[in-house]
Amino acid sequence: MKGLGPRIKALREARKLTLVGVAQTTGIDQATLSRIENDVMTGTLDSHVRIAQALGLNLPELYEDVLSKIGEAKDRLVKRKLEAFSHATGAVVQLLATSILQKKMMPVLFKLKPEGLTETEEYSLGAERFVYAIKGTLEIVVGKDSKAIKAGESLYFNASLPHHFSNKSKSECWLLSVMTPSAL
Protein backbone atom coordinates (compact mmCIF):
# COMPACT_ATOMS: atom_id res chain seq x y z
CA MET A 1 0.00 0.00 0.00
CA LYS A 2 2.01 2.92 -1.36
CA GLY A 3 2.16 5.87 1.00
CA LEU A 4 1.34 3.92 4.14
CA GLY A 5 4.99 3.58 5.18
CA PRO A 6 5.75 7.31 5.37
CA ARG A 7 2.45 7.82 7.24
CA ILE A 8 3.42 5.17 9.82
CA LYS A 9 6.85 6.76 10.23
CA ALA A 10 5.39 10.26 10.66
CA LEU A 11 2.85 9.01 13.21
CA ARG A 12 5.52 7.09 15.11
CA GLU A 13 7.86 10.09 15.21
CA ALA A 14 5.04 12.46 16.22
CA ARG A 15 4.43 10.19 19.22
CA LYS A 16 8.17 10.16 19.97
CA LEU A 17 8.30 6.38 19.59
CA THR A 18 11.42 4.61 18.38
CA LEU A 19 11.49 1.91 15.74
CA VAL A 20 12.92 -0.44 18.37
CA GLY A 21 10.09 0.37 20.80
CA VAL A 22 7.38 -0.22 18.19
CA ALA A 23 9.09 -3.47 17.18
CA GLN A 24 9.04 -4.67 20.80
CA THR A 25 5.40 -3.62 21.30
CA THR A 26 4.14 -5.21 18.07
CA GLY A 27 6.37 -8.27 17.94
CA ILE A 28 7.30 -7.30 14.36
CA ASP A 29 10.99 -7.48 13.48
CA GLN A 30 12.67 -4.05 13.48
CA ALA A 31 14.03 -4.60 9.95
CA THR A 32 10.53 -5.45 8.71
CA LEU A 33 9.12 -2.28 10.30
CA SER A 34 11.86 -0.25 8.64
CA ARG A 35 11.03 -1.79 5.25
CA ILE A 36 7.33 -0.99 5.76
CA GLU A 37 8.10 2.62 6.75
CA ASN A 38 10.29 3.03 3.66
CA ASP A 39 7.68 1.51 1.31
CA VAL A 40 10.04 -1.36 0.46
CA MET A 41 7.38 -3.83 1.59
CA THR A 42 3.69 -3.46 2.44
CA GLY A 43 3.35 -5.84 5.38
CA THR A 44 0.29 -7.92 6.14
CA LEU A 45 -3.12 -6.87 7.39
CA ASP A 46 -2.16 -8.39 10.74
CA SER A 47 1.02 -6.30 10.93
CA HIS A 48 -0.98 -3.17 10.06
CA VAL A 49 -3.39 -3.93 12.93
CA ARG A 50 -0.52 -4.37 15.40
CA ILE A 51 1.22 -1.17 14.21
CA ALA A 52 -2.03 0.80 14.51
CA GLN A 53 -2.53 -0.47 18.07
CA ALA A 54 1.04 0.45 19.01
CA LEU A 55 0.39 3.98 17.70
CA GLY A 56 -2.86 4.22 19.67
CA LEU A 57 -5.02 4.13 16.54
CA ASN A 58 -7.59 1.84 15.00
CA LEU A 59 -6.89 0.53 11.51
CA PRO A 60 -9.20 2.95 9.66
CA GLU A 61 -7.37 5.87 11.31
CA LEU A 62 -4.03 4.45 10.19
CA TYR A 63 -5.29 4.12 6.61
CA GLU A 64 -7.15 7.45 6.64
CA ASP A 65 -4.91 9.60 4.41
CA VAL A 66 -3.77 6.67 2.31
CA LEU A 67 -7.33 5.59 1.45
CA SER A 68 -8.36 9.13 0.56
CA LYS A 69 -5.50 9.23 -1.93
CA ILE A 70 -6.69 5.93 -3.39
CA GLY A 71 -10.14 7.47 -3.88
CA GLU A 72 -8.54 10.27 -5.87
CA ALA A 73 -6.50 7.94 -8.07
CA LYS A 74 -7.54 7.93 -11.70
CA ASP A 75 -5.80 4.73 -12.74
CA ARG A 76 -8.07 1.77 -11.91
CA LEU A 77 -5.20 -0.74 -11.94
CA VAL A 78 -3.25 1.27 -9.37
CA LYS A 79 -6.37 1.43 -7.22
CA ARG A 80 -6.80 -2.36 -7.36
CA LYS A 81 -3.19 -2.90 -6.31
CA LEU A 82 -3.56 -0.60 -3.33
CA GLU A 83 -6.70 -2.35 -2.14
CA ALA A 84 -5.25 -5.86 -1.93
CA PHE A 85 -3.55 -7.07 1.25
CA SER A 86 -1.56 -10.14 2.11
CA HIS A 87 -3.30 -11.72 5.06
CA ALA A 88 -1.35 -14.35 6.97
CA THR A 89 -0.08 -17.50 5.31
CA GLY A 90 -1.31 -18.13 1.79
CA ALA A 91 -4.21 -15.67 1.88
CA VAL A 92 -4.85 -12.44 -0.03
CA VAL A 93 -7.74 -10.09 0.74
CA GLN A 94 -9.07 -7.71 -1.90
CA LEU A 95 -11.50 -4.91 -1.06
CA LEU A 96 -14.42 -4.94 -3.51
CA ALA A 97 -15.57 -1.36 -2.94
CA THR A 98 -13.91 2.03 -2.74
CA SER A 99 -14.23 4.47 0.17
CA ILE A 100 -14.92 1.43 2.31
CA LEU A 101 -14.72 3.26 5.61
CA GLN A 102 -17.67 5.47 4.66
CA LYS A 103 -19.89 2.46 3.95
CA LYS A 104 -22.01 0.30 6.29
CA MET A 105 -20.86 -3.01 4.80
CA MET A 106 -17.41 -4.20 3.79
CA PRO A 107 -17.34 -6.62 0.85
CA VAL A 108 -14.02 -8.41 0.35
CA LEU A 109 -12.72 -11.30 -1.72
CA PHE A 110 -10.48 -13.80 0.09
CA LYS A 111 -8.21 -15.91 -2.08
CA LEU A 112 -6.71 -18.77 -0.10
CA LYS A 113 -3.91 -20.78 -1.65
CA PRO A 114 -3.70 -24.52 -1.00
CA GLU A 115 -3.00 -24.99 2.73
CA GLY A 116 -3.64 -21.23 3.17
CA LEU A 117 -4.84 -19.87 6.51
CA THR A 118 -5.98 -16.48 7.77
CA GLU A 119 -5.16 -15.04 11.17
CA THR A 120 -7.89 -15.32 13.79
CA GLU A 121 -10.14 -12.25 13.69
CA GLU A 122 -12.49 -10.98 16.35
CA TYR A 123 -14.50 -7.78 15.91
CA SER A 124 -16.54 -5.60 18.25
CA LEU A 125 -19.84 -6.75 19.71
CA GLY A 126 -22.63 -6.56 17.12
CA ALA A 127 -20.39 -7.22 14.11
CA GLU A 128 -21.86 -9.73 11.65
CA ARG A 129 -20.27 -11.56 8.73
CA PHE A 130 -21.71 -13.32 5.70
CA VAL A 131 -19.42 -15.56 3.66
CA TYR A 132 -20.08 -17.29 0.34
CA ALA A 133 -17.71 -19.85 -1.18
CA ILE A 134 -17.14 -19.01 -4.84
CA LYS A 135 -14.51 -21.62 -5.67
CA GLY A 136 -13.18 -24.65 -3.83
CA THR A 137 -13.89 -25.95 -0.34
CA LEU A 138 -12.69 -24.32 2.84
CA GLU A 139 -13.05 -24.60 6.57
CA ILE A 140 -14.43 -21.79 8.73
CA VAL A 141 -13.82 -21.91 12.47
CA VAL A 142 -16.11 -19.66 14.54
CA GLY A 143 -15.55 -19.84 18.27
CA LYS A 144 -15.32 -23.56 19.02
CA ASP A 145 -17.35 -24.63 15.97
CA SER A 146 -15.91 -25.65 12.62
CA LYS A 147 -17.76 -25.87 9.33
CA ALA A 148 -16.60 -26.86 5.86
CA ILE A 149 -18.29 -25.01 3.02
CA LYS A 150 -17.89 -25.68 -0.69
CA ALA A 151 -18.55 -23.56 -3.76
CA GLY A 152 -22.12 -22.29 -3.76
CA GLU A 153 -22.58 -22.57 0.02
CA SER A 154 -22.70 -19.75 2.54
CA LEU A 155 -22.49 -19.05 6.24
CA TYR A 156 -23.74 -16.12 8.34
CA PHE A 157 -22.20 -15.66 11.80
CA ASN A 158 -21.44 -13.39 14.73
CA ALA A 159 -18.10 -11.75 13.80
CA SER A 160 -17.42 -10.76 17.40
CA LEU A 161 -16.54 -14.41 18.02
CA PRO A 162 -12.96 -15.40 17.17
CA HIS A 163 -12.91 -16.84 13.65
CA HIS A 164 -10.56 -17.78 10.83
CA PHE A 165 -10.62 -19.41 7.40
CA SER A 166 -8.42 -22.22 6.12
CA ASN A 167 -7.99 -24.09 2.87
CA LYS A 168 -6.99 -27.70 3.47
CA SER A 169 -7.36 -28.66 -0.19
CA LYS A 170 -4.81 -28.79 -2.98
CA SER A 171 -6.46 -26.03 -5.05
CA GLU A 172 -7.08 -22.32 -4.48
CA CYS A 173 -10.33 -21.27 -2.77
CA TRP A 174 -12.21 -18.00 -3.23
CA LEU A 175 -14.53 -16.65 -0.59
CA LEU A 176 -16.79 -13.59 -0.76
CA SER A 177 -17.12 -11.97 2.67
CA VAL A 178 -19.46 -9.14 3.61
CA MET A 179 -19.13 -7.67 7.07
CA THR A 180 -21.17 -5.10 8.93
CA PRO A 181 -20.40 -2.66 10.33
CA SER A 182 -17.50 -1.90 8.03
CA ALA A 183 -14.20 -2.50 9.86
CA LEU A 184 -10.65 -3.22 8.89
Say which DSSP state 44 is in: B
Q: Is-above-0.85 flag for pTM?
A: no
> Residue 105's pLDDT is what?
83
Spatial distance between the Cα atoms of 156 and 154, rounded to a whole number of angstroms: 7
pLDDT > 50? residue 78: no
> Residue 154's pLDDT is what?
95
Most confident of the ranges 91-95, 104-108, 128-132: 128-132
> Residue 164's pLDDT is what?
92
> Average pLDDT of 165-175?
91
> Residue 1's pLDDT is what?
61
Say which DSSP state 37 is in: H
User: What average pLDDT does the chain have?
Assistant: 83
Confidence of residue 136 (pLDDT cuts 50, 70, 90): very high
Comparing 76 with 97, the larger pLDDT belongs to 97
> Residue 116's pLDDT is what?
87
DSSP 90-127: EEEEEE-SSSGGGSS-EEEEEEEEEEEEPPPB---TT-
> Average pLDDT of 62-91?
59
Confidence of residue 81 (pLDDT cuts 50, 70, 90): very low
Three-state DSSP state, 150? strand
> Residue 69's pLDDT is what?
65
Q: Place domain 4-72 in its CATH homologous superfamily.
A: lambda repressor-like DNA-binding domains (1.10.260.40)
> Average pLDDT of 72-97?
59
Sorted by where each begins, the domain ranges of the chain are 4-72, 87-180
Confidence of residue 85 (pLDDT cuts 50, 70, 90): low
Q: 170 Cβ partners below 8 Å, 6+ apart? A: 114
pLDDT > 70? residue 70: no
> Residue 183's pLDDT is what?
59
Query: What's the topology of domain 87-180?
Result: Jelly Rolls (2.60.120)
Rounded to whole angstroms, what are the CA distances from 101 to 5, 8, 20, 34, 173?
20, 19, 31, 27, 26
Same CATH fold, 87-180 and 4-72?
no
